[in-house]
Structures are given as C-alpha cells and as structure tokens.
Structure 1
Amino acid sequence: MKKYSIPIKYGVAISAGLIAYFLILSLFNLHINPIYSLFNGVIMGYGMFEAIKHYQLQQGKKFKYQKGFMALLLTGFNATIIFTIFFGIYATEINPDFPDNLLTMWRTDYGTGIGIILFVVAIMGFATTLVLALTFMQLFKDSWNTKSSQKHSV
C-alpha cells in the first residue's frame, strides 16, 4: 500500500482543488462557460508536478523513469475519476439544470446527455494526465549524456 500512497494522496488533493475551483466558478455562474476549464490543466499540472517531485525525493537513487511515469499516471487517473464522479453527482443531483445550460447550442442538434458529458470530462482528464506525465518525466529523468553512459554506448 505504501507504493500507492503518493498517487492516492496527490490524486485526492488535485481532485479537491478541481472541485473547489468548479464550485467557486458556480458561485458566479461561470461554470457553464467551457473556457474556464483551461485552468483545470494548471491545477492538474501543479499537483502532478508536486507528486513526482515528492516521489523522486522518496525514491532517491532508486528513482526509475517507468515507476515515476506510472506514479504520475495513477495520480492523474485518481484525480480524474474522483472529479468525474463529483461532476456526475453535481450535474444530476445538485444542479440538474446544469447539463441543459452547458449544452444549449448542442441540445437541438445532437442527442447529448449526461453520459456523454461525463465521458468527455473523463477523457479530457485522462488526456491531460498523459500529456503532463510525459512532459514532467522529461524534467525528472536521468540524463543519458553522462560520461558513464557514453562509455557503454561506444
């Protein structure tokens, strides 16, 4: 269980930040404007950066690219799943008019419902996680341009 503590802890923290941001937007009725969801990437990025930084400190010399990448993926997937569940509860139970307000221009043309909205929210979270994990691992991986790795390649 200890090896999953960072992805769980940071995944819950990221999702709490995403939920808080969404609820603050809803206070001002800005949550129906999709442009504000761009800041979700900033929240996710900050949380994932802190998670990999903590993971690298915890692993020390045993830090491996594959394990760090998996820790980031699990962190982001945990955050995405928790936020998607919250989003589903919010859109169906707390504010049932929210999907209609969000999809006013699509409602007449396509048969979109809460299922497709939740699917899109989840896919956006998973895609953001994958892109951020690949990006951050470039910062935290060991360089191959060292004298010892050059000796092995010759």
Structure 2
Amino acid sequence: MKRSTIPVVYGLLIAVGLIVYFLLLSLIGVQTNPIFSLGNGVIVGVGLYYALRNYKKEKGVNFEYQKGFMAGLLTGFNATILFTIFFAVYVTHLNTDFLPMMLENWSSHYHVGVGIVVFVAAIMGFATTFVLTLSFMQLFKDSWNTKKGKKSTAIEA
C-alpha cells in the first residue's frame, strides 16, 4: 500500500509559511509582539485544513477517521519541528538580541534561556496542531446520522 506524502509536503509548506511570516514581522520590527502569534494559528489552520481535505480526497471511500487524524497530527508536527529548528537558529545565530527584546515585555524574576523559549514555541505548535486537527476532523469524518450509519450501529448493539 502506497504511503501518503501529504503530511510531509503540507508540513513543509506550513513551516515555510510560518518562517516567511516570522521574517516579515521581523522586517517591520513587531516580531516580539505576542498578538501577532495569532497569524501562526491562521497559517497552521489553513495548511492543516487543506492537508486533511486532500488526504480525504486521496483516500476516497477508504478514508478512516484514525488515519486522517494521524495525517493531520503528522502534518502539524512536521511543520512545528521545522519551524522550531529555524526559530532556534534565528534566536541563537541570526538575531541574538531577539530574546532580550522579547523578554523585556514580561516582568519575570526567573532567568529564561533560549532552551525554554524554543521549548515553549514547540509546545505551542504541538498544542495548536492537536486542537486544530481535532476540530477539522469533525468536518471530514463520515456522519453517523445516515440510514446506513444507524443500521450499522443498531446491528452492533
């Protein structure tokens, strides 16, 4: 059975979208403003939607909820890992002033290093992926509110 390339291709496209968006924000100097993180959610959401839609088209009548859910998670996780790698390189090598600029907006008595910021960025990406995949799979799953679905559940009971 042929493996789908959708999680890799769309994961890469989402990561590129996130990187371009982040670099555009840094060009205008607003990359440290947390409100612009909402744009990340929009980019991931659009990418996941199209990935799941195309995955369902690819599988046709053989589309299963569990496999679609895994395709969505893999797509988002691929994007998150790629963006996190970029973000770690950006913070440590390309713009070493980013972290102090970002943290001056936060009143904290704790020492926050690069590792924790990169870790939090990854966790945010994974959480966004999980929630959006759960949400979008409600659109793509087959409904049980059909005569066929009611008959199959009545027989099983």
| TM-score range normalised by the length of the shorter chain | over 0.9
Superposition TM-score, scaled by structure 1 size: 0.96
Which residue of the partner structure matches residue 31 of structure 2? 31
Deviations 1:100-151 (A, max 9, x none): 0000144751110101100110010000000000000000000001112212
Letter in 1 for 2:37: S
Query: Cα deviations across residues 15-60 of structure 1 (Å, max 9, x unaligned)?
Result: 0000000000000110011110111000000000000011011000
Question: For 1:56 and 1:99, how far apart are their aligned partners in 2?
Answer: 41
Report what 1:134 is aligned to. Answer: 134
TM-score by length of 2: 0.94
Gaps of 5+ in 1: none
The change in CA–CA distance for 1:2 and 1:88 in structure 2 (over 3 A counts) is farther
After superposition, where does 1:57-136 map in structure 2 within 5 Å? 57-106=57-106, 109-136=109-136
**Secondary structure at 2:143's aligned position in 1?**
coil
What RMSD over aligned residues (CA atoms) do the two structures have, in Å?
A: 1.4
* SS of equivalent residue, structure 1 residue 3: coil
Matched-pair contact (CA < 8 Å) for 1:100–1:107: no
CA deviation vs aligned residue, 1:71-109 (integer Å, no higher than 9, x gap): 000000000000000000000000001000000144751
CA contact (8 A) 1:106 1:112 kept: no
Count of residues paired in the alignment: 154
